[in-house]
Structure 1
Amino acid sequence: MTTLMLFIAAPVLVTLGLFALRLWLQWAFRIRDRRWVDDPERLTILAERVRVPTRRGRTLSAAWYLPHPGAPVVVMVHGWGANGSHLLFMVPRLLSEGLNVAVFDARCHGQSDDDTFASLPRFAEDAEAVMGALRARGHGDFILLGHSVGAGAVLLTASRNPGIRAVISLSAFSHPEPMMNGWLQERGIPRRPLGLIINRSVEWLIGHRFDDIAPRTTVARIQAPLLLVHGSEDTVVPLWHARRLAQENPRATVLTLPGVQHNDPEGFARHVDPILDWLRPHLRHQDPVELSEHARVFGTP
Structure 2
Amino acid sequence: MNHTPQTQLHKTFRLNKGPLIINALFGGLVGGAYGLAIANPLAVFMAGAVIGLAIGVGYEWLAWKWRRHTRLYRQRLLLLILFEIVLTFYVVLPLAATHSTLYPLRFPVTLPPWQVSDQLEDVSFTTSDGLTLQGWYIPSGNGAAIIALHGFNGNRSHVVFHAKALADHGYGVLLFDLRMHGESGGTIFSSWETERDVVAAVDYLKTRSDVQPERIGAIGLSAGAHAILSGAAASPDVRAMILDGLGAGTVDDFLDPFIPEVQGLWFMTPAIWLDDRALELYTGRAAPPPFKELVKRIAPRPMLFISSGLAPYETSLAQRYAVNAGASAEAWDLPDVDHVSGMVTRPEEYAQKMLNFFDQHLR
Q: 1:106 aligns with which of 145, 170, 178?
A: 178
The equivalences for 1:24-173 within 5 A come to 26=99, 29-36=102-109, 38-68=111-141, 71-115=143-187, 117-138=188-209, 139=211, 140=213, 141-173=215-247
Q: Is the 8 A contact 1:76 1:102 kept in 2?
A: yes
Deviations 1:77-106 (A, max 9, x none): 222221111111111211122211000001
Q: Which is richer in helix?
A: 2
Unaligned runs of 5+ in 2: 1-93, 256-266
Is 1:241 the counterpart of 2:317? The answer is: yes
Q: Is the 8 A contact 1:174 1:244 kept in 2?
A: no
Secondary structure at 1:239 match in 2 = helix
Within 1, Cα distance between the matches of 2:324 and 2:254?
Answer: 22
1:27/1:160 Cα in 2 relative to 1: closer, same or farther (>3 Å)? Answer: closer
Q: Is the 8 A contact 1:156 1:213 kept in 2?
A: no
Q: 1:266 aligns with which of 344, 354, 359?
A: 344
Q: Is the 8 A contact 1:145 1:167 kept in 2?
A: yes
Computed over aligned residues only, the root mean square deviation of the Cα atoms, in angstroms, reads: 2.8
Shift of 1:193: 5.4
Within 2, Cα distance between the matches of 1:209 and 1:221?
Answer: 18
Amino acid at match of 1:77: L
Within 1, Cα distance between the matches of 2:145 and 2:136?
Answer: 12
Q: Is the 8 A contact 2:101 2:190 kept in 1?
A: no
Secondary structure at 1:76 match in 2 = strand
Identity percentage of aligned residues: 23
Amino acid at match of 2:120: A
- When the two structures are aligned, how many residues end up with a matched partner? 252
> Larger Rg: 1 or 2?
2
Within 2, Cα distance between the matches of 1:85 and 1:175?
Answer: 25
TM-score (norm 1): 0.74
Within 2, Cα distance between the matches of 1:37 and 1:76?
Answer: 18
1:162/1:29 Cα in 2 relative to 1: closer, same or farther (>3 Å)? Answer: closer
Q: Is the 8 A contact 1:170 1:228 kept in 2?
A: yes
Q: Aligned residue for 1:294?
A: none
Within 1, Cα distance between the matches of 2:335 and 2:110?
Answer: 24
Unaligned runs of 5+ in 1: 1-20, 182-189, 285-301
Deviations 1:169-189 (A, max 9, x none): 1111243338989xxxxxxxx
The equivalences for 1:215-294 within 5 A come to 215-222=291-298, 223-234=300-311, 238-250=314-326, 251-264=328-341, 265-267=343-345, 269-270=347-348, 271-284=350-363
